[in-house]
A and B are shown apart, each in its own frame.
Chain A
Amino acid sequence: MIAALAKRQALILGTLSMVGILGLWQAVVDLGFIDPFFVSRPSAVWNEFLAQWRRGNILIHVSETLRSFALALGLATTVGIGLGLLAGWFRDVESALDPFVWFKYSAPTIAFYPLFIAWLGYGTPTIVAIAFLFALTPIYANTLSGIKNVDRDLVRAARSFGARPYDIFFMVALPGSVPIIVAGLRLGVGRALTGVVVAELFGANAGLGYSIGYFAQLLQTTRMMVYIVIVIILGVILTQLLSFIEARTDAWRVSAAK
């Protein structure tokens, strides 16, 4: 009851502050404090959005970006969860993968861009590869820590009923890790989208990142803003979707901690 109320209040406040920012943005440009060349203005962005929509450009670029995003996230989820489960269960696998993890944490992924271009060529494969690497780390790391930090009390109780290692993995470690794995996916979603957009900025023939870069070069701020805003909205929607799933899988954990 109280929680629902607090949630609604958060939603209202969030919406108000968004509207406030938009109002402020419009006002400072209209009043001449900031040159629209740098930031455009909400009303102009909205009109441009409608124009682009009617020409069908928005759909083309959004679907191009979403396609790369889905491929990258799908790959990162499969590989990240797969390796995370293995490394969480088998200490040797974790040790073998450790250098790569450190490497990934310390070296900026985007620095490998030229290498990927050389290997995979210009376009979608390289974009997917970059976004895949962006998203992989949190998915892998969360899965690993979920399995590895399986509750010792639960393992002991399971063993007392004759559970074999196989049972402990599938009946205790895996279900106990679902919330933290989903949390890793939520981080991975944000990073996969970032990866796609960044890689598209560097080189692509379509997509949101490509459009942002393209209009930036032409100094068409309003058009560029249209695509920036779309990226932001897409990111919010995708992350919220995962937060929703996370809250559902996490119910037992949140309440148990109270």
Chain B
Amino acid sequence: MAQIEVRDLQITYDTPKTGERFTAVEGVTLSVEAGEFVTIVGASGCGKSTLLLAVAGLVPVSGGTIAIDGRTVTAPGPDRAVVFQEASLLPWRSVLGNVKFGLEMQRWTRDDRTERAMRFIRMVGLANFADYHPHQLSGGMRQRVNIARALAVDPKVLLMDEPFGALDAQTREVMGDELLTIWEREKKTALFVTHDIDEAIFLADRVVVMGRNPGHIKEIMRVDIPRPRHEDVLDSDLFNGYRKRLRAHLAEDMASMHLVEGAQA
């Protein structure tokens, strides 16, 4: 059995205005093996975050099932950790305090916390910034803290929702590189949402392409680029092929979006 098993998932949201329930994700089935790196791409609003948050146990499931190692997900658990965008760090806590937060929540013994937090702060290269507060750090550094905070609780599955979405292109590439290095060493299962096609391919064993209305999986594309990967693969023919395939999907989505908007106008 795969580590993450999503079967025929449906997620609906309350819409207070109309009183009806809005279907954000429907009929999604996906298996992720232990140690696999799976990225999710798709136009904005196609339910990428919803799917990820459902796996995290932060959004209730309205149909189908999600299971981690055979256990049905009903709430967040120590087997999963989420890396959010930068704004999710506690602004009044230092880097060390933030990385310790997850350990405190999961009731790690007091003596272990600082030592363990420092280990992961060193891993993401912030040893000299442990006493800094988030507002004193750059966007890239804040995301390192977010990654350290998630890794510190020793999850089996790392869930990431556009963690580098707010960073500039160059920082983003560096962070992607480092994330791969860490992932290869830590052997975590990774589910990573992005809207950046290159990032999706570069990181992934498989890329899940999602479409809209309601959110569903259009294709799951295997990426056969050997690891460890370096930035020069971005220029290879193989990579270009993947890139074209994903672009075609997204172009299709954009076109259908215009049609819908045209019809409404």
A-facing residues in B71-109 (Cβ within 8 Å) = 76-78, 80-82, 84-85, 87-92, 101-102, 104-106
Is A161 a contact partner of B153 (Cβ separation < 8 A)? yes
Given contacts A161-B76, A162-B76, A255-B135, contact A154 B105 (CB under 8 A): no
Partner of B135 from A154, A171, A252 at Cβ < 8 Å: A252
Given contacts A161-B102, A162-B77, A162-B106, contact A256 B88 (CB under 8 A): no
Chain B residues with CB under 8 Å of A176's CB are: 90-92
Bound form: Cα–Cα A258–B91 in Å: 13
B-facing residues in A229-258 (Cβ within 8 Å) = 251-253, 255-256, 258
A107 within 8 A of B: no
Bound form: Cα–Cα A156–B82 in Å: 10
Bound form: Cα–Cα A172–B82 in Å: 17
Is A256 a contact partner of B91 (Cβ separation < 8 A)? yes
B58 within 8 A of A: yes
Is A157 a contact partner of B105 (Cβ separation < 8 A)? no
User: Which of chain A's residues has its CB closest to B88's CB?
Assistant: A157
Is B90 a contact partner of A161 (Cβ separation < 8 A)? no
1/0 contact string of A118-153 vs chain B (CB within 8 Å):
000000000000000000000000000000000101
Q: How many residues of B contact A (CB 8 A)?
A: 27
A175 within 8 A of B: yes
B123 to chain A, nearest CB (A): 18
User: Which of chain A's residues has its CB closest to B82's CB?
Assistant: A160
B54 to chain A, nearest CB (A): 12
B22 to chain A, nearest CB (A): 19
Chain A residues with CB under 8 Å of B84's CB are: 153, 156-157, 160
Is A159 a contact partner of B58 (Cβ separation < 8 A)? yes
Is B134 a contact partner of A160 (Cβ separation < 8 A)? no
Is B92 a contact partner of A175 (Cβ separation < 8 A)? yes
Given contacts A153-B87, A157-B84, A256-B134, contact A163 B105 (CB under 8 A): yes
Q: How many residues of A contact B (CB 8 A)?
A: 23
Bound form: Cα–Cα A154–B89 in Å: 7
Is B91 a contact partner of A253 (Cβ separation < 8 A)? yes
User: Which of chain A's residues has its CB closest to B80's CB?
Assistant: A160
Bound form: Cα–Cα A161–B133 in Å: 20
Is A252 a contact partner of B76 (Cβ separation < 8 A)? no
User: Which of chain A's residues has its CB closest to B133's CB?
Assistant: A252
Max chain B CB contacts within 10 Å: which of A156, A159, A160, A175? A160
Bound form: Cα–Cα A247–B88 in Å: 23
Bound form: Cα–Cα A167–B107 in Å: 11
Is A158 a contact partner of B105 (Cβ separation < 8 A)? yes
Bound form: Cα–Cα A255–B133 in Å: 10
Partner of B136 from A151, A167, A171, A255 at Cβ < 8 Å: A255
Max chain B CB contacts within 10 Å: which of A154, A156, A162? A162
Partner of A172 from B90, B102, B106 at Cβ < 8 Å: B90
1/0 contact string of B31-64 vs chain A (CB within 8 Å):
0000000000000000000000000111000000
Chain B residues with CB under 8 Å of A172's CB are: 90
Chain A residues with CB under 8 Å of B106's CB are: 161-162
Max chain B CB contacts within 10 Å: which of A157, A175, A251, A255? A157
A146 to chain B, nearest CB (A): 13
Chain A residues with CB under 8 Å of B135's CB are: 252, 255-256, 258
Is A175 a contact partner of B90 (Cβ separation < 8 A)? yes
Bound form: Cα–Cα A153–B85 in Å: 9
Is B56 a contact partner of A160 (Cβ separation < 8 A)? yes
Is A162 a contact partner of B105 (Cβ separation < 8 A)? yes
User: Which of chain B's residues has its CB closest to A178's CB?
Assistant: B92
Is A167 a contact partner of B88 (Cβ separation < 8 A)? no
User: Which of chain B's residues has its CB closest to A255's CB?
Assistant: B135
Chain B residues with CB under 8 Å of A151's CB are: 87
A183 to chain B, nearest CB (A): 15
10 contacts between A and B (CB under 8 A): A154-B88, A157-B84, A160-B58, A162-B78, A171-B105, A175-B92, A176-B91, A252-B91, A252-B133, A252-B135
Which B residues are closer than 8 A to A by beta carbons? 56-58, 76-78, 80-82, 84-85, 87-92, 101-102, 104-106, 133-136, 153
- Sorted from nearest, which 6 A-B pairs have the closest CB atoms? A157-B88, A255-B135, A161-B102, A161-B105, A160-B82, A256-B135
Besides A156-B88, A160-B58, A167-B105, 19 other CB < 8 A contacts?
Answer: A153-B87, A153-B88, A154-B90, A157-B84, A159-B58, A160-B76, A160-B82, A160-B84, A161-B102, A161-B105, A163-B105, A171-B104, A171-B105, A172-B90, A175-B92, A176-B92, A178-B92, A252-B91, A252-B133
